[in-house]
Amino acid sequence: METKLSAAIKEHTKADEIDSILRSCVHCGFCNATCPTYQLLGDENEGPRGRIYLIKQFVEGHAITENTVAHLDHCLHCASCETTCPSGVKYTRLLDISRPLIEESYTRPKKERTQRKRLAKTLSNPLKFSVLLSAGRIGKFLLPSNITEKIPEKRKALDWPVTKHQRRMLILDGCVQPSISPDINASTSQVLDKMGITLLRIKKVSCCGAVKLHLSEEEAALQQMRNNIDYWWSAITEGVKVEAIISTASGCGATLKEYGYHLKDDPDYASKAILVSRLSKDIAEIISEEMIPKATKPLTLAWHPPCTLQHAQGITGMVEAILKKAGHKLVPVADQHLCCGSAGTYSVLQPEIADQLRENKLKALSEAKPDMIVTANIGCQTHLEQKADIPINHWINTLL
Ligand code: SF4
Ligand code: SF4
């Protein structure tokens, strides 16, 4: 695709990258076939090819309109289009670079600005989120149903084993997961303990940066990444020397694997960020290399692969293989490549599209009447759970 960047955009540090991504798109439209919003809304501007064109117009100097912002806001950042694109167009990267630039050129209505700021502050801060969630659980009876359905029940967690194996790994606690589903990382520590691996937590490490990054607060997100690297650094380089940094939420894992990219222009952190990204692994990548224990209770499962696992991290078939080795039966699920509508803060900011995608996803997951639906990202788990008739869990819980 021909491009002619505006003088202002040419000054941007990522101008060459914007130009090269735009030029790599040959406008074939194959990506529209696997885009959830294009399928739902049937509008060229609600698919990747149309959105690429809208971004092109913006970086070439056309004024940004309310409609353009709305079409880009409707994008789930699911990267399904990237998996499909035969030309390797890095659409989500183009979106990540463009979003903060668009925010600078467009003033959102006050209500939207306030909502986005609140989300960025609350969701990326584990303590604030935990206090808010506890208050919501206590005062549930006072709240309207559209809010109470978003408040998950408290889950019980197993004890974290106190072990000192020679093999050690770090785990990212994450921002919302410890409050919503503390069982996930506790179960992970139990499973890894049986495999001779000690799992370490560094409590100061909080959000991976994804929440702020996707709400266009780029500098704040980069600072969270730098802080996390500082907190982890001694465990990575001195004494303990961990083998890996594990994520049990695929959204966080996808972001950790991109630290090297996001901090590549920071002379103090560039090489450290590359090492953190190299060490970052989804829990499935660790378990698949080990002897898989037989589950105490074999189940019939429906697997929901999060977009951040299958499209962003390119991990496909791995969890399914682990679950089968553990003795579980997997049922076929239609349209597994499509997003469930959770997508970070998307389900809060774009509830209508998110609800429709969830309805479709739950229909597909429930079709074969499994005992349980399993997934690999806290966002998907919580979003689906709000309307599911079947229990939803992280798959790691089924290995115990
Ligand atoms: S992003 Fe890829 S699949 Fe989509 S129109 Fe461009 S080249 Fe074609
Ligand atoms: S990231 Fe997902 S929603 Fe956005 S354009 Fe690509 S396929 Fe569509």
Domain boundaries, the chain: 7-105, 300-399
Q: Kindly report the CA angle at 215 between 211 and 216, in degrees rounded to 5?
A: 120
Tokens of 364: 């597909």
User: Which tens digits make up the pLDDT trace of 120-138?
Assistant: 888 777 777 777 777 777 7
H or E element that contains 281: strand 280-282
- Residues 6 or more apart whose Cβ sits within 8 Å of residue 332: 368
User: Which tens digits make up the pLDDT trace of 194-237?
Assistant: 999 999 999 888 789 999 998 989 999 999 999 999 999 988 99
In the structure, what pLDDT confidence band is assigned to residue 301 with cuts at 50, 70 and 90? very high
Mean pLDDT, rounded, of the chain: 93
* Mean pLDDT of all residues in 96-118: 93
pLDDT higher than threshold 80 for residue 153: no
Question: Of 116, 113, 281, which is closest to residue 213 (Cα–Cα)?
Answer: 116
Q: How far apart are the first and last CA of the chain?
A: 52
Q: How far is CA 239 from CA 18, 166, 232, 236, in A?
A: 42, 12, 12, 8
> pTM (2 decimals)?
0.94
The correct CATH number of 7-105 out of 1.10.1060.10, 3.90.1170.20, 3.20.20.70, 1.10.10.10 is 1.10.1060.10
Ligand nearest to the CA of 92: 2
User: Which tens digits make up the pLDDT trace of 226-242?
Assistant: 999 999 998 899 866 89
Q: In what order do the strands lie in the sheet with 329-330?
A: 329-330, 300-303, 372-375, 392-394
* Mean pLDDT of all residues in 167-173: 94
Task: Give the integer Cα–Cα distance in Å for 88 and 92.
Answer: 11
Instruction: Give how far the C-alpha of residue 239 lies from the chain's centroid of Cα atoms, to the nearest Å.
Output: 31
Tokens of 393: 């869990």
pLDDT higher than threshold 80 for residue 342: yes
Residue 59 confidence (pLDDT) = 96
Atom of ligand 2 nearest to the CA of 48: 5
Contact residues of ligand 2, CB 6 A cut-off:
35-37, 48, 51, 75-81, 91-92
Residue 102 confidence (pLDDT) = 92
Q: 271: Cβ below 6 Å to ligand 1?
A: no
In terms of C-beta density within 10 A (0-12 exposed, 13-18 middle, 19 or more buried), how is residue 67 classed? exposed
Ligand 2 geometric centre to CA of 286 (Å):
29
The CATH code of the domain at 300-399 is 3.40.50.1860
Residue 185 confidence (pLDDT) = 94
- SS3 breakdown of the chain: % helix, strand, coil, rounded to 5? 55, 5, 40
In the structure, what pLDDT confidence band is assigned to residue 269 with cuts at 50, 70 and 90? very high
